[in-house]
Structure 1
Amino acid sequence: MKNTLLVAGLLPVAAMAASSSDTSPQQIVVTATRFAEPEASILAPVNIVTRQEIDRLQAKSVTDVVRTLPGVETISYGGKGQSSSTAVRGGTSSQTLVLIDGVRFNSVTSGGADLNALPLNQVERIEYVRGARASIYGADAIGGVINIITRPDAGTNAHKFSAGVGSRDEREASWSSSVQVSDVGQLKAAAGYQDEEGYNVHPVAGINDGDTHGYTGYNALLDYQHQLNEQWGLFAGGRWFRNKAQYDNSYDNAWGSQHQRSETWSDNQSYQLGGRYHQNNYQSELQGNFGRENIYNYPDGQSRSESQNQTFIRQYNVSWLHDLNLNDAWRLGAGVDWRREKLDDDSISDGNAYPEATHGRDNTGVYSLLQYQLQAWQAELSGRSDDNEEYGRHNTWQTGAGWRFLNDYRLSVRYGTGFRAPSFNDLYYPDPYMPGNPDLQPEESRNREVMLDGITGLLTWRVTGYRNDIDQMIQWAPNSSGLWRPENVGQARIDGLELEGEFDTGWLAHRLSVEFKDPEDRASGKQLQRIARRSAKWVAQGDWMQYSGSLSWIYQGERYDDASNSVTLGGYSLWDLALAYKPGADWKLNGKIANLLDKEYETAQGYPAAGRGFYVSVDYSL
């Protein structure tokens, strides 16, 4: 069993970091450097969630999984299918880079990634690296990188069908099949369906009483890997999901009242083709990706074709990566990425067309990485240069060193820079009263970390202290004409301390984390919006005879819903319980109680989270 992370003296009240009892100390990670390497060789804090852990959690969405990770705060505007955002180490959702199979998923319009939109049945594992990684990945990797991996390991043979029902009239069914094709191929196919009547995600008394806001989603995936010979391999895949969700724009205030139940319809497709070469100490990967997303937002009762809010996003990515082991101590990496982002000409917001500048922007990034590891010492140095046709060239770099002063104890330090590119909405939002600002420059960050990790008895632990300074933050502010629009006016300093640990008691694996932050808006001296100063997480998982399950606890401290710190969001503790029973080799019965104590809480004012929920399902596996 893998134990990872926390201080020997950490109090039992502390809570979880993510990895599972099925991983080993030599778990392989691809996200930190873009090539596979043992977790122990990585200087940055890394957490891994396996498919087995996801199944024990009986998670209903990717957001359910990610929110158990250390340093993560999630903000949801309602239940399943509603938009959500993910903040890492006190940053915004746009300052966290989300990848799917190594390809950027962040939206070109909003800048962030909506994890609630992703189908969980396609996911094989999740890798999460904290700290600045812009010198490897480019824009937006300020707080960390979340890589959602859908591709199975070579040699996997597994087939699973699942169906279930639950609270709020939930119905779901999914199927996945991974099969080894002769000795040289690996094929995966998956499909899923979810439907839920939902609840009133934005209740306005006397205006929308009795409304419900539901969700329907469909998804499919096909992936194939083929090993031509010992040196050459090919891979190709296609992923599709379509979501339809209701939301609410109702209000009742001094300016009047309105009842408006609305709907969003989105269709996301992604296609990937690539090849790998490996010879002795050298390996290389070349891949291309095309993604498209069509989004419609419209009032309930209106047809999609009549919508005044239609967004048609197209993304093209090409990367060529290289990795060379120079000798037993030195490793060299390098690569080039090209990305084109665009909105189709028909994209409109409130009936207004986006300007021509959104019809395409290119970014070319070149990076290099040098790693050293010999006996008790580790070191790394990386740098990257991004050339964007909108805001010009931006350079980032990172360095770090580690010293294993005892066999099971390591001290490491890191320093890195990062940046967040303005989104299309930041630059060109076509609202005559709240327009975008084409003169924006990227946000810039400087991240410092010191980490101590080790193994003491049965406890594997990690303590990390960090400071992240973010300049030129993009915030809404009035210009000289009195119009509110995004401006480079903000500064933030986020100081944090993370305590993490993992240990086993009998057949139960416990994973813990506690975090203390001082997230300060340096211009106003206020606490950053919707970011808590304290959080804690605990997940216990295990398998015993024919039974398996998990018990998880998440605590988030008090936050503020606004930048002026005048609207308080209370702290909350959330418990989830999941149990499963296998009556035979092929069948498994699952039961989950989400929000076990029926806690009432909000992550955004006016958008209450779902109450207690009951879910049952059955799995048939071969």
Structure 2
Amino acid sequence: MTFPCGRAIASLPALAALFVAHSQSVQAQTARLAEVVVTASRASQPLAEVVADMTVIDQTTIENSGAAAVADLLARVPGIEIARNGGPGATTSVFVRGGESRFTAVFVDGVRIDSQSTGGANWESIPLARIERIEVLRGPAAAIYGSDAIAGVIQIFTRRGEGAFAPVLTAGVGNHDSARVEASARQGGELLDWAAGLGRSTSEGFSARSGARANPDRDGAWSSSANARVGLRPAAGQRLEASLLWNSLDAQYDSSRTADDRSRQRLLTTGLDWSARWADGWSTHASASESHSRYQTAPSVYSTETRLRNYLLDNAWQSGAQRANFALERREDQLDNSSISPSRNDRSQNAAIAGYGYSEGAHVLQLNARRDDDSEFGAKTNGAIAYANSFAANWRASASFGTAFRAPTLYQRFSEYGDASLRPEVSRNLELGLRHRRGSDEIGLVAYRNRLSNLIAFVGSGSCASEFGCYANTARAEVEGATLSGATRLAELNLTGSLDWQLPRDSDTGLLLRRRARLHGNVAADTRFADWTLGASVQASGKRWDDAANRQALGGYALLGLHARTALTRELSLLLRADNLADKAYETALGYATGGRLLYAGLTWAPR
């Protein structure tokens, strides 16, 4: 096979000065290699032992971002693009390595979020205010997580109790008559720890549509959220934890030129986890979780509700350089939608999972296999192998291969537009990586090719009863690309950046997939000056197409952002943020407006 690395590098002679996606997100990888992550193997392991291509977004990065939504924060991460149908609260897609939005498995505190109507997480309903940390894994992970993880996995973690009692109050305002207020507290302890928070954000927004189809009214969004995590240690080596996240979103959008169109979304996740360490090298983890997401519109009447339940039992053994685990998992999906008969609105998947890891000296090896048995379409087996070798001082090379799948949604199979015979979408991914790290300097290159088949598309006619069209397994796609990333420190200035070259194309037509650019990237710098932390960033994207025929162009853009933070007192800090400072006019979805220059100022009170 041929990877596109050479073309990516040759097209950018200035890459020597470019370094990774957002400053703190990369520093989390370079400066804290002993940090423990869970996403790569579904078990705690040092970041330095992870073969997969990962980014960790920590709390400092989230706070300095001034971002209004999770997707805006993710857009500054290597390998990720977003598209939004309008302003705050509008339908949002997140593309990881050129994959469809539904090809990324999403979890909040270990609870899976997905829609059994559209497929994929409803990103606009996940509240950023409640999040402390995000782990982004790029590449297929169905051998660990099952259905959905074709392009990657995004794990979101809310705040957890630790240390002495610590309350935090945050309030901020921005243009478009936006405001946010948050209150949270947490406390750790040997027996009991807890964390809880409330948040409210509002924005009067701007007209979601541009051009002749626009309704001139402003399309705002109003969101309320709450979260709680409580941990208990009933015995030595054991921990019991309960978690909850709730969000209510009321957002306006333009469907007609006269009506006040609104969408109302509700998200509720609950989880119960138990972990026990029986002896050195032997541990057990069990969990039961549920997510419930609802989407409704008015005055046009539409309603859909998805309920997911997951049960997991995982045993892990570690001896020296070797680690093994075996797990059983059950997933239950239910969809309440007027287009679905109550007799066909649910399904289940049972899975057996096995993993093996080896890490010693210059070698890191990870093997995974998973077999899912779906109540509707039968069994599906996936596997992955990943290996890394530190072949010289400060150098590491890696290679991985994995298969993945995405089961068709209940809506795609059993609605009036559905086809009960739909097969799972499947992929085969090959990845090569090379990284050099010395002190605070780092540069890395990852090249990949992901071939997808049985893709589900909405076609003009088919076996369903609808005259408007049907879902069918008609498409094939291939996404190949390369990510160049790096970080360095010049005097008091931290420089970071990433560049993604990709070719996400339809294998039958050779045309590019909708709303994905061949070239996109980020560059950022931050420093300390007197009592201030100052930062600047540029987020850029090349030309994209809004339609499968590649006739409706979306122009490229570059957005300049600035942020500044300072401590006004020992307990009070100020954050100032400006995004799209040059007020660039651009679109991520044809005919839908973006917010132009965005300004934010916030105060945080955190007594110590």
Q: TM-score range by the shorter chain?
A: over 0.9
In the alignment, which of 129, 149, 174 is matched to residue 157 of structure 2?
Answer: 149
| Cα offset, 1:37, TM superposition | 0.4
Residue 16, structure 1, aligned to residue 21, structure 2: yes
Displaced runs of 4 or more, over 4 A: 6-9, 480-483, 542-545
Once the two structures are TM-superposed, the CA of residue 294 in structure 1 deviates from its matched residue by 2.8
| Contact in 2 for aligned 1:57/1:550 (Cα 8 Å) | no
CA distance in structure 2 between the aligned counterparts of 1:189 and 1:429, rounded to whole angstroms? 39
Contact 1:238-1:269 within 8 A present in 2 as well: yes
Q: Which amino acid is the alignment partner of residue 367 of structure 1?
A: I
Match of 1:592 among 570, 573, 577: 577
Do 1:546 and 1:583's aligned partners in 2 also have CA atoms closer than 8 Å?
A: no
Give me the whole-angstrom Cα distance separating, in 2, the residues matched to 1:444 and 1:202: 35
2:436 maps to: 454
Q: Do 2:209 and 2:215's aligned partners in 1 also have CA atoms closer than 8 Å?
A: no
1:393 correspondence with 2:379: yes
Q: 2:397 aligns with which of 411, 414, 431?
A: 411
Deviation at 1:62, TM superposition (A): 0.9
Determine if contact 1:56/1:541 at 8 Å carries over to the other structure: no
Check whether the contact 1:516–1:533 (CA below 8 A) recurs between aligned residues: yes
Query: Cα offset for 1:508?
Result: 3.7
In structure 1, which of residues 305, 312, 330 is the aligned counterpart of residue 305 of structure 2?
312
Distance 1:456 1:266 in 2: 47
User: What secondary structure sits across from 2:17 in the alignment?
Assistant: coil
User: C-alpha distance in 2, partners of 1:599/1:293?
Assistant: 34
On the 8 A contact 1:16/1:510 being kept in 2, the answer is: no
How many Å apart are 1:369 and its aligned residue? Answer: 0.6
Would the aligned equivalents of 1:234 and 1:276 in 2 still touch at CA under 8 Å? yes
SS of the residue 1:168 aligns to: coil
Q: What secondary structure, in the 3-state scheme, does the structure 1 residue paired with 2:262 have?
A: strand
Deviation of 1:464 (Å):
0.7
Q: Deviations over 1:22-76 (max 9, x none)?
A: 6512121111111110111111111100001111222221112111111101011
1:157 CA displacement: 4.9
In structure 2, distance between residues paired with 1:427 and 1:494: 26
1:386, distance to aligned residue in structure 2 (A): 0.7
Q: 1:541 to 1:335 in 2, by over 3 A?
A: farther
* Counterpart code for 1:240: W
> Is 1:574 aligned to 2:580, yes or no?
no
The CA deviation string for residues 433-463 of structure 1, in whole angstroms up to 9 with x for no partner, is xx12221111110000111112146421211
Q: Of 190, 196, 207, which aligns to 2:197?
A: 190
Q: Does the Cα contact within 8 Å between 2:110 and 2:271 map onto a contact in 1? A: no
- Take 1:540 and 1:365, find their aligned partners in 2: how far apart are those partners? 45
Contact 1:248 / 1:262 at 8 angstroms: preserved in 2?
A: yes
- Percent identity reads 28
Alpha-carbon distance between aligned partners in 1 of 2:387 and 2:210, rounded to the nearest angstrom: 52
Q: In 2, Cα distance between the equivalents of 1:156 and 1:553?
A: 38
Residue 293 (structure 1) aligned with residue 287 (structure 2): no
1:341 to 313, 333, 337: 333
Distance 1:190 1:507, change over 3 A: farther
Separation of aligned partners in 2, 1:171 and 1:610: 15
Superposition deviation, residue 414 in structure 1: 0.5
State the AA in 1 paired with 2:424: P
What is the CA–CA distance in structure 2 between the aligned matches of 1:215 and 1:9, rounded to whole Å? 40
Are 2:519 and 1:512 aligned? no
Q: In 2 relative to 1, CA 422–454 (structure 1 residues): closer, same or farther, beyond 3 Å?
A: same
Deviations 1:257-287 (A, max 9, x none): x533310112222221121101311121111
* Greater Cα shift, 67-76 or 271-280: 271-280
Q: Give the letter for the 2:508 counterpart.
A: A
Where in structure 2 are the equivalents of 1:135-174 lying within 5 Å?
135-152=143-160, 154-155=162-163, 157-174=165-182
In 2, Cα distance between equivalents of 1:126 and 1:575: 23
User: Is 2:254 the partner of 1:248?
Assistant: yes
Partner of 1:377: 363
The residue identity in structure 1 corresponding to 2:575 is: N
Whether the aligned pair in 2 keeps the contact of 1:20 and 1:50 (CA below 8 Å) is: no
**Deviation (angstroms), 1:9:** 8.9
Structure 1 residue 221, shift from structure 2 partner: 1.0
Q: Take 2:549 and 2:164, find their aligned partners in 1: how far apart are those partners?
A: 53
Q: Which moved more, 1:68-77 or 1:258-267?
A: 258-267
Are the aligned partners of 1:336 and 1:366 in contact in 2 as well (CA < 8 Å)?
A: yes
Secondary structure of 1:70's match? coil
Deviates more, 1:605-614 or 1:543-552: 543-552
1:544 CA displacement: 4.6
Partner-residue secondary structure (3-state), 2:63: helix
Q: Distance in 2 between matches of 1:443 and 1:27?
A: 35
| Residue number in structure 2 paired with 1:33 | 41
The reply on whether 1:229 has 2:257 as its aligned counterpart is: no
Give the alignment partner of residue 429 of structure 1, picking from 383, 395, 415. Answer: 415
Paired AA for residue 16 in structure 2: L
Cα deviation per residue 1:211-257 (whole Å; 9 max; x = unaligned)? 1111001011111111223311110122111010011112xxxxxxx
Tell me the amino acid that sits aligned with residue 249 of structure 1.
S
Find the residue that maps to 1:124 and give its secondary structure.
strand
Structure 1: distance between partners of 2:379 and 2:524 = 43
**2:479 & 2:200 partners in 1: Cα distance?**
40
Task: Confirm or deny that 1:53 pairs with 2:53.
Answer: no
Q: Which runs of 5+ in 1 are unaligned?
A: 1-5, 251-257, 300-306
Alignment of 1:100-179 (within 5 A): 100-152=108-160, 154-155=162-163, 157-179=165-187
Distance 2:428 2:445 in 1: 20
Q: Is the 8 A contact 2:401 2:428 kept in 1?
A: yes
Deviates more, 1:104-113 or 1:444-453: 104-113
Q: Which residue identity is paired with 1:188?
A: A
Give the distance between the partners of 1:480 and 1:109, measured in 2 at CA: 19
Does structure 2 conserve the Cα–Cα contact (< 8 Å) formed by 1:98 and 1:113? Answer: yes
SS at match of 1:562: coil
Q: CA separation in 2, counterparts of 1:568 and 1:367?
A: 44
Q: What is the number of residues matched between the two proteins? A: 590
Q: Matches of 1:379 and 1:197 in 2, distance apart?
A: 51
- Cα separation, 2, equivalents of 1:195 and 1:390: 42
| Cα distance in 2 between the residues matched to 1:85 and 1:601 | 17
Aligned to 1:203: 210
8 Å Cα contact 2:161-2:230 kept in structure 1 = no
CA drift of 1:115 comes to 2.1
Q: Which moved more, 1:86-95 or 1:23-32?
A: 23-32
| Corresponding residue of 2:5 | none
Deviation at 1:358, TM superposition (A): 4.3
What's 2:4 paired with? none
Match of 1:487 among 456, 472, 477: 472
| Contact 2:185 2:197 (8 Å CA) reproduced | yes
Q: Write the distance in 1 (CA, Å) between the matches of 2:579 and 2:25.
A: 21
Distance in 2 separating the partners of 1:220 and 1:94: 26
**Displacement after TM superposition at 1:151 (Å):** 4.0
- Whole-angstrom CA distance in 1 between matches of 2:328 and 2:14: 44
In 2, distance between residues paired with 1:293 and 1:585? 41
TM-score, length basis structure 2? 0.93
Task: Tell me the TM-score normalized by structure 1.
Answer: 0.91
CA distance, structure 2, for counterparts of residue 260 and residue 151 of structure 1 = 40
Counterpart AA for 1:413:
A
Helix, strand or coil at the partner of 1:425: helix
- Tell me the equivalent position of 1:503: 488
Shift in alpha-carbon separation, 1:177–1:357, aligned structure 2, 3 A: same
Q: Is 1:466 the counterpart of 2:440 in the alignment? A: no
